[in-house]
Amino acid sequence: MVGVPLTRTETHTPSDDQEIWVSGVVQILGEWNGAIRLDCSWDLAQAVTARMYGIEASAVTAEVACDTVAELANVVAGMVKPLLGTRSHHSLPTVVRGRGYEFNVPHGRSFEQCGFNCDANYFSVTILQRAKAND
C-alpha cells in the first residue's frame, strides 16, 4: 500500500520525549476485546503521507498525516482481526499526536508487539488485549 520495504526489528520505546509521535488506534469489540495500535514518529507519518499523495513532506499538514495514520491503523486492524480467530467488530480509528504520552485501553495489556524499520524510521504495531472482568 505504501510501497516502502519494511524490515522487522526489536521493539523499543521512544527515548526522546521531545520527539513528536503519532498513534493510530482501532478498538476490537466482540468475542475478543482490545485494540490494535500503530505508533510512528511524526517524521515517518509525514514522509509516508507525502509519498502516498505524491507531494513534498513539508506540504503535509497534521490533519492529513493523522488521517493517513488512521487509515493505516484501520487497514492493519482489518488484517490482524481474522488472526485473532474470533467474531469481533472494529471501531472507527482514533489518532493521538504529541510528545511523551502513553496510550492504552482500560484494563489493556500488551498481547503482542512488533517493531519495524521503514525508510530508516521506526514504527510498531501493538495488540492490546482487554482483560476480562474477573482477570
CB of 55 to another protein, least distance (A): 11
Where does this chain bind another protein (CB under 8 A)? 1, 49, 52-53, 64, 67-68, 70-71, 74-75, 77-79, 81-82, 87, 90-92
Nearer to another protein by Cβ, of 70 and 128: the residue is 70
Angle at 83 between CA 75 and CA 12, to 5 degrees: 70
CA distances from 118 to 32, 47, 55, 87, 108 (A): 30, 10, 19, 32, 27
CB of 15 to another protein, least distance (A): 30
Task: State the sign of the Cα–Cα–Cα–Cα dihedral 63, 114, 131, 27.
Answer: positive
CB of 68 to another protein, least distance (A): 5
Nearer to another protein by Cβ, of 14 and 32: the residue is 32
C-alpha cell at 53: 499523495
Coil/strand/helix, residue 102: coil
What single-letter amino acid sits at 15? S
Nearer to another protein by Cβ, of 77 and 127: the residue is 77
Nearer to another protein by Cβ, of 84 and 105: the residue is 84
CB of 92 to another protein, least distance (A): 6
